[in-house]
Structure 1
Amino acid sequence: MTGTLSEETKLRDQIAAVGKSIFDRRLTFGSTGNISARLSDGRLLMTPTNASLGALDPARLSLFDTDGAHVAGDKPTKEAFLHQCMYCARGEAGAVVHIHSTHSVAVSILADVNPEDVLPPLTAYYVMRVGKLPLVPYFAPGDAALARAVEDRAGASHAVLLANHGPVVAGKTLTEAQYATEELEETARLHLMLHGRDIRPLTPEQAAALKGR
């Protein structure tokens, strides 16, 4: 019992710390964005609705049981289904980060991206931490069809980009999900900086070698 409580307490504190880090660096704004993490017994901790990631109270995080029902804490984010469908599609996932970061959202609005893999392999760390980034078509917030669309794409990639909305990224740990989300945002920024210019991305062979690592 003590070990379980200690795990939950540490994870609550980690979610609050990651949220503050993301918010303080202006990777999300106001009450946008949400974070979740899975406990070893399968329960989920998630940031609540209408909460700023910069001012999370660890004790008030939403808690879901192993069946996905909200059982404690503040009212969950209305985007809880995005997290739950990522966990369903990726059994190894231990955490999910969803933010409305400016450059990633900007890329999701461009008309000339490849919906199967939105960003080119500009850097080694992008390939290793993100890899393939499919675009999920636009759905209105709260539309149940969005969950199905995300789950369809998440089976082949731990990161997806929601059109006109933002990224949803899963990781084996919260740190891994955070770093991948930040790498995605930085690569989106680079992509926009280089847009319209000739570029020299990594070759398919170079990218494949990195993915193998």
Structure 2
Amino acid sequence: MNAEETSALLVELAASLFRRGYSVGSAGNISARIDDGYLITPTNSSLGRLQPERIARLDAAFRHVGGDRPSKEVFMHRAFYEARGAACGAVVHLHSTMATAVACLPDLDAATAIPPLTPYFVMRVGRSLPLLPYYRPGDAAMAPAIRDAARAAPAVLLANHGPVVSGRTLLDAVHAAEELEEAARLFLLLRGASPRLLTPAQVDELLATFG
């Protein structure tokens, strides 16, 4: 898929997320790897009103080379691309309601904020969802923490902020972000109910089968 096709798909998927309430106003940002660099949503843009020709274009060193000025959180995306290498073809950062609600809870396990409740959470999001400390939005100081966590996990939850999810492709990353939001909804519904979790052996089997 070339840069123009990727840009068009990014606009289409971003609008779908916006229509379904995964982002509001100008919240959230999405990026995708292309042959000679990256595409990322512009700063202060709405995911529901993007234009393909205005998507910011970055070179392989993350320098702005085209389109509108990139999101102020480009460092967040860069941390994932650097940490995960070829396994990361796109990054989605949302302020989706349920995942952000979980990110505001005080008693989470920092190693895995949402436990393995369903097979599709494990298949799309991974073995664990690290919870990172609070940083001010746009604060590049969070990049090392994201980079460290992303080496072992394809998604993280930013305390009091929201999820950042990567995938091998743009579609994979969006699907994973959607699955994380549903897992967060289940987690909130089941709080205090001692739910049955997938066992470590079941998680291993899922990851061995589906990668």
| Residue number in structure 2 paired with 1:61 | 55
Give the equivalent residue in structure 1 for 2:34.
39
Match of residue 108, structure 1, among 86, 90, 103:
103
The equivalent residue for 1:91 is 85
User: How far apart, CA to CA, are the structure 1 residues paired with 2:200 and 2:181?
Assistant: 22
Question: CA shift at 1:142, angstroms?
Answer: 2.1
Structure 1 ranges of 4+ moved more than 4 A: none
1:40 shift after superposition:
2.2
Could you list the per-position Cα deviations for residues 184-213 of structure 1 after superposition, in whole angstroms to 9, with x for gaps in the alignment? 010000000111112111112111111112
- 1:198 aligned residue: 194
Unaligned stretches of 5+ residues in structure 2? none
Match of residue 19 from structure 2: 24
Specify which of 35, 44, 48 is matched with residue 50 of structure 1. 44
Of residues 118, 127, 139 in structure 2, which corresponds to 1:123?
A: 118
Partner amino acid, structure 2, of 1:47:
T
- Aligned to 1:157, the other structure's residue is in SS state coil
The counterpart of 1:144, out of the listed 137, 140, 145, is 140
RMSD: 0.9
In the alignment, structure 1 residue 157 sits paired with structure 2 residue 143: no
Instruction: Note if 1:72 corresponds to 2:70.
Output: no
Q: 1:89 Cα shift?
A: 0.5
Q: Is the CA contact (8 Å cut-off) linking 2:76 and 2:140 kept in structure 1?
A: no
SS at match of 2:57: strand
Residue in structure 2 matched with residue 3 of structure 1 by the alignment: none
**CA distance, structure 1, for counterparts of residue 16 and residue 138 of structure 2:** 27
Give the structure 1 partner of residue 166 of structure 2: 170
Separation of aligned partners in 2, 1:38 and 1:94: 5
Structure 1 residue 161 displacement after superposition: 0.6
TM, length-normalised to structure 1: 0.95
**C-alpha separation between the residues in 2 aligned to 1:30 and 1:144?**
22
